[in-house]
Amino acid sequence: MGDLEGDLLVDPGVARQIHRAEPAAAEGVDNLVFAERLTGDQHLGAWSIARISGRSGARGADQDEPTRENRFYNLPMRPRFFAPSLDGRAASVDLPPDESRHLRQVVRLGVGDEVRVFDGRGLEFLGRVDRLGREAVSVALVEPSTPAPESTVAVTLAPAFLKGRTFDAVVRDATALGVVAVQPLVAEKQAAHRPSSRPGSRRSRGADRWRRIAVAAAKQCGRAIVPEVREPLSVGEFADAAQSDVKLFLAEPGAMPAHTLRARDLLDRPRPSAVSLAVGPEGGWTPDELVRFDARGFQAVTLGGRVLRAETAPVVALAALACLWDEA
């Protein structure tokens, strides 16, 4: 191998081991990679960009010493746990049973390990595991922590219900993209798999599962706010209840109403404080649903001339809105 010069992404596990080569060992290697040891106050999960410089063969006295220049990117920080009972005035908080099991059995943390806890409503704290109980884990609160920034535009996503587990991915991605609420819709073309709203029904159990998915997604992406996941509504019920400044529905190619906007056309309008966005089912909207949207002040918007899958369209639409309005 020849000379090495440049930046290198170093996994923190490797960075802990590659610290400083011993002179005797250095004589037997062709290339040296130097990375600073990660310290306790640098977040777990960070990647180090290590400046590397090495020469082939043994290093002689007349050769330049390798230089090291590290920068750290705080990607997922210390392990985060959902603590809905978190009170910033208290000294500690008990994690709910499912989060306690995750801490003990999956992440395998012990007393004294640092974590972050958040309440799902915007409050987040740095803490340390204080007690590992059989039913609950107690976390001592150290200091307030800054979560991932929230968008200045509150987006409510109303995607049509999708059969199977496909809707799970929509909830997960919508949470990561910053929505404040997910309102599942039951469209007219979904009669074949329209779920029941009775307590204990598949529809009710599905909403509970989607809420758990939203919590897990918020933990992963760094948000301290968990979006509200509502019980499914019909398209008409949603259109009647929507109160946002801007109300949009996605129009599919080939069935676009007159005056359909392109996403970038929204830049010419004042920045809204709240947006409702409806995304249709695999079979598209019915004429009656389009009339209902129009009567309630919804504006058709298109993402272009390609037909997207029903689970892909919400993600693309949210990403487009984030590019327009998100300052986070």
State the virtual CA torsion across 206, 81, 174, 44 in degrees, nearest 10. Answer: -140
Of 56, 73, 90, the residue that ends a domain is: 73
Residue 297 has pLDDT above 90, yes or no: yes
**Mean pLDDT, range 39-51, rounded to an integer:** 39
Domain count, the chain: 3
Note the Cα 135 to chain centre separation in Å.
28
Q: Is residue 327 over pLDDT 70?
A: no
pLDDT of amino acid 211: 95
Q: What is the pTM of this model?
A: 0.72
What pLDDT, on a 0 to 100 scale, did the predictor assign at position 234? Answer: 94
Show which of 48, 73, 98 is a domain's final residue: 73
Task: Please state the three-class secondary structure of 33-74 as a single string.
Answer: CCCCCCCCCCCCCCEEEEEEEECCCCCCCCCCCCCCCEEEEC
User: CA-to-CA distance for 318 and 154, rounded, in angstroms?
Assistant: 11
- State whether 22 and 111 are in the same domain: no
CA–CA distance, 54 with 122 (Å, rounded to integer): 47
pLDDT at 202: 55
Sign of CA dihedral 11, 117, 167, 175: negative
pLDDT tens, residue by residue, 8-28: 444 444 444 444 433 433 333
Q: Is residue 149 part of a domain?
A: no
What are the start-end ranges of the H helices in the chain?
A: 12-17, 23-26, 97-101, 166-176, 202-221, 235-241, 287-295, 313-325
115 shares its domain with 243:
no
Residue range 265-282: mean pLDDT, rounded: 91
The parent domain of residue 140 ranges over: 80-144
Alpha-carbon distance of 68 to 56, in angstroms, equals 18
pLDDT surpasses 80 at 35: no
> What is the rounded distance in angstroms from the CA atom of residue 27 to the CA atom of residue 25?
5
Mean pLDDT: which of 121-130, 197-206, 308-317 is highest?
Answer: 121-130
